[in-house]
Amino acid sequence: MNTENPFSHIGGGKRYYTQNYMLREKFGCKVIKISLNAGMTCPNLDGTKGTGGCTYCSSGSGDFAGCPAQSVTEQFYAVKKLMNEKWSEGKYIPYFQANTNTYAPLEKIRSMTAKALSLPDVCGIAISTRPDCISEETADYLAELSRKTYLTVELGLQTVYDETAAKINRCHTYADFLAGYKLLHDRNINICVHLINGLPGETHEMMLESVRKMSELKLHSIKLHLLHIIKGTVMAEQYENGEFEAMTPEDYVNTVCDQLELLPPDVCIQRLTGDGNRETLIAPLWSLKKFVVMNEIDKELRRRNSWQGKKYGGQI
């Protein structure tokens, strides 16, 4: 049984392995991710596997990424200028966030990553994609890239339950995820997995099980998102019809803390909630107070005298 908080050396009262701490340890300074939009699509948008995209998705993932009408360089400087209002200096990781960034010919992937890595003060690169959109050829290139720079490939999984994935029109299975994961893992590529808490029909135990399954893999990092119900989406219509309820802040904080306890202590926590667009968010409106949510997670972990990994490996 774990009896001491292994994260007591991390500032800010954090009881989990934060991305900010990990990157400062690695690079010796503040590292800022710059969200970019390479103008990609998705196989559940273009008809290859489905149409309409995920039911929660407004226009493709990455609502806060750059403008696809601009070049990678133009987007980088535009987003960097905004980020520098908060952090005046540091190094940068271009983050290809919007839609599925390996769902393209390899030459396009090579071109966009080469341009991003040529920009000043860039220390790595992050690529968000679907686990069913990684070929052997693409995986080989990503392995080559990871030998040159600090690369993280972010896989959108959202849930380990195929019935939930079908409801939200993901158009891939958990088996598809494991196949994509293996292609990357076998090449020693850093993998970050995205999960969403609060998906329609999922219970507290189901959300914990998704994290348990992830704790059995060799992940570099994880993002835990709160489901945002956005105007104009299929899910917004379902919500307004009373087909499911949004999570309460108490439920969300409790769920995240339970999930953190199950994760290995060496998995970096990239995100514990998400940023919502005030103009398009229908629910839960409490999520707009992001720092309040983060503070409540910290408070609950202290109240429990708990931390990331306390129950990892069946230790209770």
How would you write 138-159 as a 3-class SS string? HHHHHHHHHHHCEEEEEEEEEC
State mean pLDDT over 70-86: 90
Strands across the sheet containing 221-226: 31-36, 91-96, 124-129, 150-158, 190-197, 221-226, 268-271
What average pLDDT does the segment 261-270 reach?
97
Q: Who has greater pLDDT, 228 or 316?
A: 228
Q: Please report whether residue 35 resides in a domain.
A: yes
Domain contains 263: yes
The span from the CA of 266 to the CA of 18, in Å, is 10
- What interhelical angle do 290-304 and 249-262 show, nearest 10? 60
**Phi, psi (degrees; rounded to nearest 5) at 129:** -155, 175
Q: What is the domain range of residue 197?
A: 11-314
| Residue 4 placed within a domain | no
Q: Count other C-beta atoms under 10 Å from residue 70's C-beta.
A: 16
Structure tokens at 264: 């290995």
For residue 296, the domain's CATH number is 3.20.20.70
Q: At residue 315, does pLDDT exceed 60?
A: no
DSSP β-bridge partners for residue 31: 91
Determine the Cα–Cα distance for residues 223 and 155; give it in Å rounded to an integer: 10
| Residue 5 included in any domain | no
Residue 96: inside a domain, yes or no? Answer: yes
Q: Assign 60 a pLDDT band (cuts: 50, 70, 90).
A: low
Identify whether the C-beta of residue 55 lies closer than 8 Å to the C-beta of residue 229: no
CB half-sphere exposure, 156, CA atoms < 13 A: 23
Is 6 a member of any domain?
Answer: no
Per-residue DSSP letter, 288: G
Contact 55, 238 (CB under 8 A): yes
Residue 316 has pLDDT above 50, yes or no: no
In a domain, 2, yes or no: no
Closest CA to 271 of 314, 228, 221, 209: 221
Q: Which residues pair with 169 in a beta bridge?
A: none
Dump pLDDT digits (tens) for 133-151: 999 999 999 999 999 999 9
Q: Confirm whether 1 is domain-assigned.
A: no
The amino acid occupying position 143 is: A
Number of domain units in the chain: 1
186: number of Cβ within 10 Å: 10
